[in-house]
Amino acid sequence: MERQPEIYTEVVGNIFMPDWSETLRGADIERVELDQWTAQKSRFVARGDRGGDYAVALKRNTRVLNGDILAYDADRNRAVVVYVRLNDVLVIDLRGLYAWSHEEQLQRAVELGHALGNQHWPAVVRDEKVYVPLTVDRKVMSSVMDTHHIEGITYRFQPGEEVIPYLAPHEIRRLFGGTEHPAHQHDACGVEAGHTHVHVHG
């Protein structure tokens, strides 16, 4: 009979918390890698890099965070740790709008907000950039941006790990649904959709 994986209903800590970071220094760690979408679920089964199967069944509306520890055996100095692979982010650069008049800046900002809102894409505005998580295939997002072709606005795709240092914790939750490193609390932090606010300051 095939052995059923143990069910984990809560995490014991996070490797990015100072106490655990020190405790796990030199520990034998089995990595359980999740994609961003699986990490949003409260129930899933995943396989570690050592071949172990781990069934997670957290309380309703909770999520695992990057670095969460599913199990720790102090006697063997061994831990099972969740790592979340962040998706790329669509980065829209608004700095080109500075070459236009205030009226034209406003018009193009509204056009961009309309384009994003029509797709129900959540967005975070930070300084002169708009960050949009990949909710669909990047080819589709590129097609939408190219179809609207708003003058003065450029875009690119950037790895999520490179974007995180520029964002506040609540902005990271908006983009990645709670996969940032420093969070200690497991709350409902799903991505908000359909509320896009674009501000351009000239």
pLDDT digits (tens, 9 = 90+) for 21-74: 899 999 999 999 998 778 878 899 999 999 899 999 998 878 888 889 999 999
pLDDT band at 192; cut points 50, 70, 90: very low
Q: Which fold has domain 88-176?
A: Alpha-Beta Plaits (3.30.70)
- Residue spans of the domains in the chain: they are 7-85, 88-176
Q: Which two tokens stand for residue 80?
A: 């099972």
Q: What is the pLDDT of residue 185?
A: 37
Alpha-carbon span 179 to 176, nearest angstrom: 6
Q: Is the pLDDT of residue 194 over 80?
A: no
Q: What is the pLDDT of residue 199?
A: 33
Q: How far is CA 174 from CA 22, 34, 80, 125, in A?
A: 30, 18, 27, 11
DSSP letter at 165 equals G
pLDDT digits (tens, 9 = 90+) for 129-140: 999 988 788 899
Q: Is the pLDDT of residue 173 over 80?
A: no
Q: What is the pLDDT of residue 6?
A: 81
Q: Which fold has domain 7-85?
A: HSP40/DNAj peptide-binding domain (2.60.260)
